[in-house]
A and B are shown apart, each in its own frame.
Chain A
């Protein structure tokens, strides 16, 4: 079975400060990991993904994520937060092999304060 944990319901950060949104996962076999962002009353937008290769993945809007196999984590990071980054962030996982649907975490609400 696959699962994702986002341990923080809410993350608050001051504009200009670095931000981290945490994600840990459980999957049999090699993971295929994603981060999505959702703005109010909208669908999810893809930010970045990890399949294989470099553990540091760069994505849209200056976001990056670090894959850590030993800790089964895939934390989302940004060096300098913007107020416009305030949104709901979802981590998702599926097995690299096969064609299973994505399993999502419960989401973390990021609030960037000016």
Chain B
């Protein structure tokens, strides 16, 4: 997991609240990604950013928002519009053709 940090490891929120997940990398990578992992569904791409101040929607962007104001940071906000936010969220960055993953944040919304 080295080089990419995600905090916190576990996060609990009440339904209707927005929550922001942190992702920081010190690998000097331009591209960063957010995936959602649910049991039996693998990893699904939420948003990605190829460069600072630019980002694109992935396959399941509805109910999420991102920003990329700094190269090393790519925070993900899970909004109240996301119908099923409880999941394991993984951040990644890309360098040398490979994607490197952070340790993940497990979000539970009740």
Contacts and interface: CB of A to CB of B under 8 A. Distances in A.
Given A46-B100, A49-B97, A102-B99, A90 B42 contact: yes
B contact patch SS: strand
28 contacts: A9-B40, A34-B98, A34-B99, A36-B101, A41-B106, A42-B103, A43-B1, A43-B4, A43-B90, A43-B103, A43-B104, A44-B43, A44-B92, A44-B101, A46-B99, A46-B100, A49-B98, A51-B97, A90-B42, A90-B43, A99-B31, A99-B50, A101-B48, A101-B58, A102-B99, A106-B41, A106-B42, A107-B40
A105 interface: yes
Interface of A: 9, 32, 34, 36, 41-46, 49, 51, 90, 92, 99, 101-107
Interface of B: 1, 4, 6, 31, 33, 35, 40-43, 45, 48, 50, 58, 88, 90, 92, 97-104, 106
Nearest to B41: A106
A43 to B, nearest CB: 4
Contact of A43 (B31, B40, B102): B102
